[in-house]
Amino acid sequence: MFAKNTADVEQTGSIGTTSHQLGDTNSAAMAEVDLAYARATAADALSRGGRDVSVPWENPRTGANGNITPLAASYTEGSLTCRDFLASYVRGQAQSWLQGEACRSDQGKWEVRSLKSLKQG
C-alpha cells in the first residue's frame, strides 16, 4: 500500500554513509569506533620509539583491522615532540590507507592529532 518504485526515489546526502559502506574509502565513511582502535594502537606504537615497525590493530566487534607503521624520526612542533605514521584500514573487502600525526603531551602520553585518508595518485 505504501510501496514506492525505487527508480523514483532521489537520494540525498542528509543521512550520510553508514559504517558498513566503505566503497569510497575516505575516512569519513570509516566507523569512528574502528578508528578509535587504530588511534590507541598508534599511540602505543609511537611510545615504543621504534621506526618502520608495523604494529597490528583490530576491532573485535566489527572485524576491522590493519597495521600502524611509525615513519621517520620525531620532530618538534612548537613545544611538542611529534611523529608521523601510516595506518592501514581493512573492513570486509574495503581497504584504504590513512596518514596520521601524533604528538607527545606534557604528561608524556602520545596523542593522535590527525588521521586522514592518504591521497593516492
Instruction: Output the nine-digit C-alpha cell for 84.
Output: 608521523
List, for residues 85-114, the tens digit of each pLDDT value.
999 999 999 899 999 999 998 888 999 999
This prediction has a pTM of 0.70
Considering the chain, what percentage of its residues have pLDDT values greater than 70?
A: 71
User: Rounded to an integer, what distance in angstroms lies between the CA atom of residue 89 and that of residue 96?
Assistant: 5
User: Rounded to an integer, what distance in angstroms lies between the CA atom of residue 72 and that of residue 35?
Assistant: 22
Residue 93 in domain: yes
pLDDT value for 74: 87
Identify residue 87 by its one-letter amino acid code: A
Domain hosting 63: range is: 20-115
Residue 64 in domain: yes
Residue 121 in domain: no
**How many domains, the chain?**
1
